[in-house]
A and B are shown apart, each in its own frame.
Chain A
Amino acid sequence: MKLSERYNRVNLIATIVIMLITGAIYYQAISLILTNQKDNSLKVEEQEVFDYVKLNHHLPQVFASKDQQITFISAEPNSVKREFFNTTYYREKDEPESGRGLVSSVKVGDRYYKILIVESKVETEDLIQIIFGITIGVILLLLLVLVITNRLILSRLWQPFYSILSELKLFNVTDSREMPSPNTTIDEFNELQAEVTAMAERVKKDYKDLKTFTENASHELLTPIAVINSKLDTLIQTENFSEHQSKLLNDLYSAVSRLSRLNQSLLLLVKIENKLLNDRQHLDLQELIDDLLYQLEDIFNDKEITVISTIGEKEIDASNYLIEILLNNLIINAVRHNRTNGEIIISLTSQNLTIKNTGEQVALNPENIFTRFHKASTSEGSGLGLTISKQICESLGYQLVYSYEELYHIFTVNF
């Protein structure tokens, strides 16, 4: 639920409840006041009857009146209790109306009379209705205005918030673009903007530091690895090794070359992310893939893998170095995770490049295969190959997608 919606809802409910309560109290108060007025007028009438009786010692004559009826009924002495009451007022031939009456008594000589004075309340009720109607009208108008202004004001007030939010959504640590400041005089939003900007700067700085660290660490590692490598090359020239010693040396060689590849992969990742390798040249993918397949022939044969390739024509503008790494990674990957006597199916069209391979008959989790150092426990790779491939594709504006269907693991590069 949106903030403005929530706010409007609460606001509306509260306003309506308060208006209803106010309306009820208002109605009660008005009708109380008007009834009081009516009662006073009845009292005046009663007093007039008393005055007349006192002066003339007989009951006044009753005239037919539009809004008032006075009746005298003889009654037992002291049998009448004085009281006001609500009643129905019958005007000749008309519909019955609501009325207010007063029962009282008077003594004329030794005779006792009950006085019944009834006045029509129709005008009073009309008045109440008019007042109430106007009030309701005003309340409705007020509500309407309130909702509209709330909506307008809220959406305008929160505009800077939404612009900050959309900036946050677009935020990318590798992006050097600064966040634009929203046009607002509201302190809270200015403060929010300042904090968001400061946070973004901190994140970017941390990210940059981390990248610099990775780059420097990898660089510093290169020299010792080069020394180990050259010392091993020198050592094997001394000859006269036992079988055991040469086995140890082989293991050392393998470990050093893995270390060196891992290090190179890390450096490469940093470079792709820093966009340091964005030289572009015209490349014939068909030719590159054919070359690579020839190059890797022995490796396919070694694992008795059948390669079926349908390579169409496709030319792209990209860094030769990166494309070679991408193709190499994807195809080597298809070999590494293949089984003996397996299959690799490579197809290149103008829209995409797909590399299918047989292997473990379980789909991989597409969520994490592209994350760094994610690899099968049996894999001898660095765990960076697919990460690098993905990064290369992203830097060139391509998409690298994994899917699994009917025994084949499929990697597709969509150009």
Chain B
Amino acid sequence: MKILIIEDEEGLRESIEEYFTEAGNICETAASYAAALAKVELYRYDCILLDITLPGGNGIDILKKLKANNYTDGVLIISAKNSLDDRLQGLDLGADDYLVKPFHLSELKARVSAIIRRKMFNGSNVLNFNELSIDLMAKTVAVNGTPVKFTRKEFALLIYFISNKGKVISKNAIAEHLWGDGIDLVNNFDFIYSHIKNIRKKIMEAGGKDYIYAAYGMGYKFADQ
């Protein structure tokens, strides 16, 4: 996968680059409007992470250029402006998704993966991981071909894990992904554990492997070790 990160804030840009760089991924970065424009004119990407406020210009204009040239790069807008207008404008202009700062890198990765999946599978939308086969449209999971019933949250969590496979995901990130921003009443995320336990149990009962590892009480990691 080829990803372009257009973000002027160095700290954030580096973190995203580091998080996304792994086997099979190529990450390029641009820190200004001019640099970003030069890159999108020359190369095509699977997904472009686009900051709206850039030195030298507005990220929305880059999006317009892409669409004017009929480039099919996936575009995810990352912005500090949580304004509905920006969001709607961005999506109207053909951005695939919109994420407001601050966000968890795992959330960003999940969103980017979803965009790339949509582009690559052309609507078939079945996600395979070893013996697991997940139909994203029908929202069903099969282990070695045997259908396994997952609840809405378990399903969402499983996809989140697979999108971030090999990464430690903090409990905060999981909670925000499943329950949204409203979940500020809990400092102990014990109830996440019950979902994870269920996922493990269901996969293993259907003959699958246990891929979920607890990471020092901070979070969980989905990996095929």
A and B from one assembly? yes
Taking Cβ atoms with an 8 Å cutoff, the residues of A that contact B are: 219, 222-223, 225-234, 236-237, 239, 241, 243, 245-247, 249-250, 253-254, 256-258, 260-261, 264, 267, 271, 276-277, 279, 294-296, 298-299, 301-302, 319, 321, 325, 328-329, 332, 335-336, 380-382
Indicate whether B92 reaches chain A with its CB closer than 8 angstroms: no
Q: Is the CB of B191 within 8 A of A298?
A: yes
24 A-B pairs within 8 Å (CB atoms) are namely A219-B80, A222-B80, A222-B102, A226-B101, A227-B15, A229-B103, A230-B15, A230-B105, A232-B170, A233-B106, A236-B219, A237-B167, A245-B216, A246-B216, A254-B187, A264-B82, A267-B82, A295-B180, A298-B191, A298-B194, A299-B185, A329-B182, A335-B185, A381-B185
Which residues does chain B contribute within 8 Å of A222, judged by CB atoms?
A: 80, 101-102
Which residues does chain A contribute within 8 Å of B217, judged by CB atoms?
A: 243, 246-247, 250
Which residues does chain B contribute within 8 Å of A329, judged by CB atoms?
A: 182
Q: Is the CB of B173 within 8 A of A381?
A: no
Q: In the complex, which residues 68-101 of chain B have their Cβ closer than 8 Å to any Cβ of chain A?
A: 80-85, 101
Which residues does chain B contribute within 8 Å of A298, judged by CB atoms?
A: 153, 179, 191, 194-195
Q: How far is the CA of A229 from the CA of B9 in the complex (A)?
A: 13
Interface string of B182-197 (1 = CB under 8 A from A): 1111110011001100
Nearest-neighbour CB distance to chain B for A74, whole angstroms, equals 126
Indicate whether B168 reaches chain A with its CB closer than 8 angstroms: yes
On whether A254 and B181 interact (CB within 8 A), knowing A226-B80, A301-B191, A302-B191, the answer reads: no
Q: How far is the CA of A381 from the CA of B50 in the complex (A)?
A: 32
Nearest-neighbour CB distance to chain A for B103, whole angstroms, equals 7
Interface string of B142-179 (1 = CB under 8 A from A): 00000000001100000000000001101111001001
Q: Is the CB of A229 within 8 A of B102?
A: yes
A interface secondary structure, majority: helix
Which residues does chain A contribute within 8 Å of B215, judged by CB atoms?
A: 236, 239, 246
On whether A223 and B101 interact (CB within 8 A), knowing A246-B217, A328-B182, the answer reads: yes
Indicate whether B104 reaches chain A with its CB closer than 8 angstroms: yes
Q: Is the CB of B80 within 8 A of A223?
A: yes
Residue in contact with B11 in the complex, picked from A231, A277, A295, A335, CB distance below 8 Å: A231
Which residues does chain A contribute within 8 Å of B216, judged by CB atoms?
A: 239, 241, 243, 245-246
Q: How far is the CA of A302 from the CA of B101 in the complex (A)?
A: 29
Which residues does chain A contribute within 8 Å of B105, judged by CB atoms?
A: 230, 233-234
Question: Which A-B residue pairs are the 4 nearest by beta carbons?
Answer: A230-B15, A226-B102, A246-B216, A227-B11
Which residues does chain A contribute within 8 Å of B173, judged by CB atoms?
A: 233
Indicate whether B138 reaches chain A with its CB closer than 8 angstroms: no
B interface secondary structure, majority: mixed
Indicate whether B218 reaches chain A with its CB closer than 8 angstroms: yes
Q: How far is the CA of A276 from the CA of B84 in the complex (A)?
A: 8
Which residues does chain A contribute within 8 Å of B19, judged by CB atoms?
A: 230, 233-234, 237
Q: How far is the CA of A294 from the CA of B156 in the complex (A)?
A: 14
Inter-chain pairs besides A219-B81, A234-B19, 17 sampled, C-beta below 8 Å: A222-B80, A223-B80, A225-B102, A229-B102, A230-B16, A230-B105, A233-B170, A239-B168, A253-B171, A257-B172, A258-B184, A294-B152, A295-B179, A328-B180, A332-B183, A335-B185, A381-B184
On whether A380 and B101 interact (CB within 8 A), knowing A232-B170, A298-B194, the answer reads: no
Nearest-neighbour CB distance to chain A for B100, whole angstroms, equals 8
Which residues does chain A contribute within 8 Å of B101, judged by CB atoms?
A: 222-223, 225-226
Indicate whether B34 reaches chain A with its CB closer than 8 angstroms: no
Which residues does chain B contribute within 8 Å of A227, judged by CB atoms?
A: 9, 11-12, 15
Q: How far is the CA of A267 from the CA of B170 in the complex (A)?
A: 26
Residue in A closest to B187 when the chains form the complex, CB atoms: A254
Q: How far is the CA of A24 from the CA of B19 in the complex (A)?
A: 106
Which residues does chain A contribute within 8 Å of B167, judged by CB atoms?
A: 237
Which residues does chain A contribute within 8 Å of B190, judged by CB atoms?
A: 302
On whether A321 and B84 interact (CB within 8 A), knowing A226-B101, A234-B18, A249-B218, the answer reads: yes
Nearest-neighbour CB distance to chain B for A222, whole angstroms, equals 4
Residue in B closest to A292 when the chains form the complex, CB atoms: B182
Which residues does chain B contribute within 8 Å of A258, judged by CB atoms?
A: 184
From A229, A264, A276, name the one whose CB has the most chain B CB atoms within 10 angstroms.
Answer: A229
Nearest-neighbour CB distance to chain B for A320, whole angstroms, equals 10
Residue in A closest to B173 when the chains form the complex, CB atoms: A233
Q: How far is the CA of A232 from the CA of B217 in the complex (A)?
A: 15
Q: Is the CB of B83 within 8 A of A271?
A: yes
Q: Is the CB of B181 within 8 A of A264?
A: yes
On whether A230 and B11 interact (CB within 8 A), knowing A276-B83, A279-B84, the answer reads: yes
Residue in A closest to B81 when the chains form the complex, CB atoms: A219
Nearest-neighbour CB distance to chain A for B129, whole angstroms, equals 20
Nearest-neighbour CB distance to chain A for B42, whole angstroms, equals 27
Residue in contact with A237 in the complex, picked from B11, B85, B168, B182, CB distance below 8 Å: B168
Residue in contact with B170 in the complex, picked from A243, A253, A260, A319, CB distance below 8 Å: A253
Q: How far is the CA of A298 from the CA of B12 in the complex (A)?
A: 33
Q: Is the CB of B218 within 8 A of A241?
A: yes
Residue in B closest to A262 when the chains form the complex, CB atoms: B184
From A250, A296, A328, name the one whose CB has the most chain B CB atoms within 10 angstroms.
Answer: A250
From B9, B16, B182, name the one whose CB has the most chain A CB atoms within 10 angstroms.
Answer: B182
Which residues does chain B contribute within 8 Å of A247, judged by CB atoms?
A: 217
Q: How far is the CA of A182 from the CA of B44 in the complex (A)?
A: 66
Residue in B closest to A246 when the chains form the complex, CB atoms: B216
Nearest-neighbour CB distance to chain A for B20, whole angstroms, equals 11
Which residues does chain A contribute within 8 Å of B80, judged by CB atoms?
A: 219, 222-223, 226
Which residues does chain B contribute within 8 Å of A219, judged by CB atoms?
A: 80-81
Which residues does chain B contribute within 8 Å of A381, judged by CB atoms?
A: 184-185
Which residues does chain B contribute within 8 Å of A279, judged by CB atoms?
A: 84
Interface string of B53-67 (1 = CB under 8 A from A): 000000000000000
